[in-house]
């Protein structure tokens, strides 16, 4: 070994030590988790001050509940009875939409899969509308037993059916064809849209009023009973997601390779589809279709921290909640004292973003 | 020991595998060779449970159909022919997928070691999607290696199933990858490899199964199976084996003047 090599040897080893942790984005993901947690808490608190009423009175009203400040009854009702459930619902639905987007994309092995784009939300919407309009036609025993749960349960069934259909159509021997998936999604959305239209014709005026907010999606109808309705299904779906993370990572290699890595693929697919259906069904039944959160959030996170689902799924929940609260803030303030449906805000921001993804990936997207 | 008996695979109306018995010992590289469409890859996919098949497959004495996926993953790893990854994983993240599967091998230093073994030192931070075809193939070999890093675990051999492991590699890396496979076998593991290159097969395999039209028509040592007559019949062209000074058996097509039928 020459003198020069001897001198260079330690340096080379030093570089190897640095390279040993190259490609590991775990720390970056954890940092992002912390940052998102902090941002979510701040935005959630701030959102209690947004709206038509004077926002300087929000903080005392918030604290009055714990005897820490004095506030008028009116302010307390606005903060605790109107804005708080709206914020909680926004967090739940935002997290649900972003996580289902990430789970569906992992399941279909494709960054373009999104419940809103491929007809799953439309299927859940059909279920919800059927639940509202056709409730009278169902046996009283069934409607009595399901009670308030009828609409979320019907939305869940609709979302489940459409996810299953979509997967069966688009996947052959463990490979999902993007073109087939998107086209099947279009067909599915058209069909469910038509069926929804037929059912709407049978609706009474009161039911029509109930139905209007499905058109564009909105958090405006939020109250504590809606939160209680949506929370169990959404929380169950969010709780199932971490158990899917490792399997979704392996699934990126294809179904066969995932099985060789020890993943029980069929069972995992069933859980993933149930998770998507539960979260989308619950979200759609309380807020209607809110698009693009499920595609924008996972995509942004993959750019920032890579596609490892163990960190992608929790961070997607946080960022989804954050973005939906911000979108709701825009919806509430742009044309105050009136407000926009939040679906319009997310579509206005998400549509161009989606086009940008398509342009960026045009060269590599296997369509 | 890998014991496969009576393997039949039918796709549509066509019988791809028509009753195959294959036995492979640990400590050996067992190569499956044969012309295109003879059923080599289908046989490997049947052995790894990727296609529905009749017949029984036993690995280390256990019926593989009765094992859970994670039990099998701790016992064997499979290198596919080509893999498209859906998302922008780094090389380290891909290799780590194998680490998570191999039970009891949660060692952080393995991915780096495996990447060096396959000739990709320092590739950890590269994006998988930006690698060349040959580099991708070796990343997956590294992933396979970390999944079954110890060739013998708890007294039982582990198994490596390779589907044309050198198909998109240059000659230097072909030799390197085959050496990795042979080293694994010499350390007590079992290797089953579908091979296109007869010369590499002759150099590295201890046993060879020659396939024709869904059947194994020759099985044994390379010297016994890779004969002029058998190869010329199977590949439907005139082939002649020579003896190279270092590598041993060396198979060449007979010259153009002799006529390639």
Residue from A23, A263, A310 whose CB has the most chain B CBs within 10 Å, to mutate: A23
Long-range CB pairs of A167-172, under 8 A, 24+ apart, other chains included = A167/A107, A167/A108, A167/A269, A167/A273, A170/A108, A171/A108
* B73 to A260: CB separation less than 8 angstroms, yes or no: yes
Shortest distance, CA B30 to any CA of chain A (angstroms): 20
Residue from B59, B69, B142 whose CB has the most chain A CBs within 10 Å, to mutate: B69
- Check: CB of residue A260 under 8 Å from CB of residue B78: yes
Selection from A41, A31, A38 nearest residue A325 by Cα: A41
Partners of B69 on chain A (C-beta within 8 Å) are 259, 262-265
* B70 to A249: CB separation less than 8 angstroms, yes or no: no
What residues contact residue B155 under an 8 Å CB cut-off, 6+ apart?
A: none
pLDDT at A204: 79
- Check: CB of residue B203 under 8 Å from CB of residue B250: no
* A24 to B88: CB separation less than 8 angstroms, yes or no: no
* B69 to A253: CB separation less than 8 angstroms, yes or no: no
Domains of chain B: 2-75+156-258 (3.40.50.300), 85-147 (no CATH)
Inter-chain Cβ pairs, chain A and chain B, closer than 8 A? 105
Of A19, A253, A308, the CB nearest to B125: A19
Q: By CA distance, what is A268's nearest residue in B?
A: B69
Q: Using CA atoms, how far apart are residues A342 and A327, in angstroms rounded to an integer?
A: 7
| More confident of the two residues A147 and B41 | B41
In tens digits, what is the pLDDT along chain A, a chain of 367 residues?
A: 444 444 344 444 444 444 346 778 888 899 999 999 999 999 998 888 876 655 667 777 777 777 777 777 778 888 888 889 999 999 999 999 999 999 999 988 888 788 877 788 888 888 888 887 877 666 666 666 666 677 778 888 888 888 888 888 877 765 666 678 778 888 888 898 888 888 888 787 777 776 766 556 778 778 888 888 889 989 999 999 988 999 999 999 988 899 999 999 888 888 888 888 889 888 888 888 788 899 899 999 998 999 999 999 999 999 999 999 999 998 888 887 778 888 888 888 888 988 887 787 665 444 4
Of B69, B103, B129, the CB nearest to A264: B69
Partners of A308 on chain B (C-beta within 8 Å) are 89, 93
Of A20, A106, A252, the CB nearest to B112: A20
ipTM of the complex: 0.91
* B124 to A24: CB separation less than 8 angstroms, yes or no: yes
* B100 to A308: CB separation less than 8 angstroms, yes or no: no
Identify the weakest region by mean pLDDT among A56-70, B34-48, B247-261.
B247-261
Selection from B175, B184, B159 nearest residue B71 by Cα: B159
User: Given CB atoms, is B13 within the 8 Å cutoff of chain A?
Assistant: no
* A19 to B77: CB separation less than 8 angstroms, yes or no: no
Question: Is B77 in a helix, a strand, or coil?
Answer: strand
Phi, psi for B166 (deg, rounded to 5): -115, 15
User: Given CB atoms, is B44 within the 8 Å cutoff of chain A?
Assistant: no
Of A24, A246, A263, the CB nearest to B92: A24
What is the DSSP secondary-structure string of A177-230?
A: -HHHHHHHHHHHHHHHHHHHHHHHHT--HHHHHHHGGGTT--STT--HHHHHHH
DSSP annotation of A57 reads G
pLDDT at A199: 85
Rg (CA), chain A: 23
User: Given CB atoms, is B139 within the 8 Å cutoff of chain A?
Assistant: no
pLDDT at A162: 87
- Check: CB of residue A324 under 8 Å from CB of residue A293: yes
pLDDT tens for B128-166 read 988 998 999 999 999 999 999 999 988 899 999 999 999
User: Given CB atoms, is B129 within the 8 Å cutoff of chain A?
Assistant: yes
pLDDT at B255: 55
Sequence ranges of the domains in chain A: 26-113+148-154+218-361
pLDDT at B58: 95
CATH 1.10.3470.10 assigned to domain A26-113+148-154+218-361? The reply is: yes
User: Given CB atoms, is B87 within the 8 Å cutoff of chain A?
Assistant: yes
**B3 alpha carbon, distance to own chain's centre:** 16
The count of other CB atoms within 10 Å of the CB of residue A41 is 11
């Amino acid at each position: 070994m020459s003198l020069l090599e001897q001198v260079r040897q330690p340096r080379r080893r030093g570089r190897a030590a640095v390279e040993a942790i190259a490609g590991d984005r775990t720390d970056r993901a954890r940092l992002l988790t912390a940052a998102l947690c902090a941002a979510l808490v701040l935005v959630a608190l701030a959102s209690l001050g947004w709206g038509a009423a004077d926002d300087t009175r929000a903080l005392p009203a918030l604290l009055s509940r714990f005897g820490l400040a004095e506030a008028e009854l009116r302010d307390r009702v606005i903060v605790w009875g109107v804005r708080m459930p709206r914020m909680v619902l926004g967090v739940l639905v935002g997290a649900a939409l972003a996580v289902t987007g990430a789970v569906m994309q992992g399941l279909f092995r494709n960054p373009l899969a999104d419940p809103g784009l491929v007809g799953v939300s439309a299927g859940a919407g059909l279920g919800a509308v059927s639940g509202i309009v056709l409730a009278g036609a169902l046996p009283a025993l069934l409607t009595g037993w399901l009670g308030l749960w009828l609409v979320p349960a019907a939305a869940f069934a609709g979302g489940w059916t459409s996810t299953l259909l979509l997967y069966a159509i688009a996947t052959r021997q463990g490979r999902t064809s993007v073109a087939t998936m998107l086209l099947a999604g279009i067909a599915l959305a058209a069909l469910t849209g038509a069926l929804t239209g037929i059912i709407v014709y049978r609706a009474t005026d009161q039911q029509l009023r109930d139905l209007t907010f499905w058109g564009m999606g909105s958090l405006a109808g939020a109250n504590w009973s809606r939160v209680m309705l949506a929370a169990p299904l959404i929380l169950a779906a969010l709780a199932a997601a971490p158990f899917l993370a490792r399997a979704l990572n392996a699934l990126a290699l294809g179904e066969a390779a995932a099985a060789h890595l020890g993943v029980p693929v069929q069972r995992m697919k069933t859980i993933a589809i149930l998770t998507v259906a539960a979260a989308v069904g619950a979200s759609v039944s309380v807020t209607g279709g809110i698009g693009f959160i499920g595609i924008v959030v996972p995509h942004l996170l993959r750019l920032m921290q890579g596609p490892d689902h163990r960190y992608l799924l929790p961070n997607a929940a946080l960022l989804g909640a954050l973005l939906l609260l911000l979108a709701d803030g825009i919806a509430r303030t742009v044309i105050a004292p009136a407000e926009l449906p939040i679906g319009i805000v997310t579509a206005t921001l998400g549509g161009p973003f989606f086009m940008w993804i398509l342009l960026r990936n045009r060269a590599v997207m296997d369509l | 020991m890998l014991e496969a008996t009576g393997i039949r695979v039918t796709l549509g109306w066509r019988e791809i595998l028509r009753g195959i018995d294959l036995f492979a010992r640990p400590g050996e590289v067992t190569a499956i060779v044969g012309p295109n469409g003879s059923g080599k890859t289908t046989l490997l996919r049947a052995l790894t449970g990727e296609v529905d098949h009749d017949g029984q497959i036993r690995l280390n004495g256990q019926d593989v159909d009765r094992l859970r996926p994670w039990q099998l993953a701790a016992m064997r790893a499979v290198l596919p022919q080509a893999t498209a990854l859906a998302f922008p994983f780094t090389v380290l993240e891909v290799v780590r997928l194998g680490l998570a599967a191999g039970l009891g091998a949660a060692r952080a230093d393995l991915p780096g070691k495996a990447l060096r073994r396959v000739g990709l030192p320092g590739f950890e931070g590269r994006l998988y999607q930006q690698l060349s075809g040959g580099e991708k193939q070796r990343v997956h070999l590294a992933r396979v290696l970390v999944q079954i890093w110890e060739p013998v675990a708890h007294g039982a051999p582990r198994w490596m199933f390779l589907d044309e492991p050198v198909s998109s590699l240059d000659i230097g890396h072909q030799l390197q990858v085959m050496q990795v496979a042979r080293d694994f076998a010499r350390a007590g593991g079992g290797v089953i490899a579908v091979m296109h290159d007869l010369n590499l097969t002759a150099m590295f395999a201890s046993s060879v199964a020659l396939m024709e039209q869904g059947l194994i028509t020759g099985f044994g040592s390379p010297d016994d199976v890779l004969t002029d007559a058998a190869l010329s019949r199977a590949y439907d062209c005139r082939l002649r084996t020579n003896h190279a000074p270092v590598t041993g058996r060396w198979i060449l097509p007979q010259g153009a003047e002799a006529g390639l039928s």
